[in-house]
Amino acid sequence: MAYSQIVYQKENRVALITLNRPEKLNAYSEIMVHEMLEALSDSRDDDQVRAVIITGAGRGFCSGGDISTDFQYPARYRGHRLESMLEMRENFHQLVKFLWRFDKPTVAAINGPAVAGGLTLALCCDFRIAGESAKLGDTSLKFALIPDEGGAWLFPRFMGIQNALRMSLFSEVYPAQKAKELGLVIEVVPDAELMDAARQWAGRLADGPPIAIRITKRMMYKQMNMDLDNALEDAALGTLVTNYCEDVKEGTAAFHEKRKPDFKGK
């Protein structure tokens, strides 16, 4: 597929998706969303890809939805009294759900602003690494809009309900270090080192046992909404897959031979 609003690359078992509307601080559009879904689908289905990095071109990660003066709802919704609901439900919401259910590990490399839907996009990734000049927050209410891209569900899960309400109701945007203190990012690095840091994280994930990583990731997300009995049963069922993989033999052999394991995902 030829992409016009993202750049999609694969190297060393890591896929890199770069949002590519730098003139709009990578504000998302319907085209960008569909291209990201296509790239993520390819990454999911390619067994050679073991981790994914998402970042933005130019000065920003993602400034949220495109609200520029030339923005219009897609033609198929235009004029419909439910056009805003249909546009969200069939576009960005699909990306949020796809990323949240994506079972390979994902790293957001946050350069510049990640606000409103851009912050939601980052929070859908497993790890968020920010350059020191990055800014994260929710500016929806500044425009009398709401955090309709999934933020009202995601923000309290990462920063608690009081901090989430403060951020959204006061349209606050935080520098990278403050965002780390609030639980929105896991690491802050100098801007010039951002992509190297993201690649190091993704590379370590790509070197791990891919089947066990994917199952562990899904277990943790699912079990956030389970009681202990169901969580333990879910874990027991998972062993029926992982404990009989060839990677277990490789991991054990590498331990005894004092070498780095070479996991094949088998």
Angle between helices 30-45 and 92-101 (to 10 degrees): 20
What are the tens digits of pLDDT across the range 156-175?
999 999 999 999 999 999 99
Q: Among 40-44, 52-56, 81-85, name the one with the lowest average pLDDT.
A: 81-85
Q: Please report, for the chain, the start and end positions of each structural domain, with discontinuous segments joined by +.
A: 6-206, 208-257
- Which pair of structure tokens corresponds to residue 86? 């249909």
Return all residues near 26 (Cβ < 8 A) that are at least 6 apart.
19, 20, 32, 56, 57, 58, 60, 61, 62, 63, 118
Contact yes or no for 95/30 (Cβ under 8 A): no
When pLDDT is cut at 50, 70 and 90, the band that residue 84 belongs to is: confident
pLDDT at position 139: 94
The whole-model pTM stands at 0.91
232-241: b or e for each residue (b if 16 or more CB lie within 10 Å)?
A: eeeeeeeeee
Segment 208-226 mean pLDDT? 94
Structure confidence by residue, pLDDT tens digits, 104-153: 999 999 999 999 999 999 999 999 999 999 999 999 999 998 899 999 99
Rg (alpha carbons) of the chain, rounded to whole number: 19
Residue 74: pLDDT band with limits 50, 70, 90: low
DSSP string, 124-173: TSSEEEEETT-EEE--GGGGT---TTTHHHHHHHHH-HHHHHHHHHTT-E
Residues 159/184, Cβ–Cβ less than 8 Å = yes
Pick the CATH number of 6-206 from 3.40.718.10, 3.20.20.100, 3.90.226.10, 2.40.110.10: 3.90.226.10
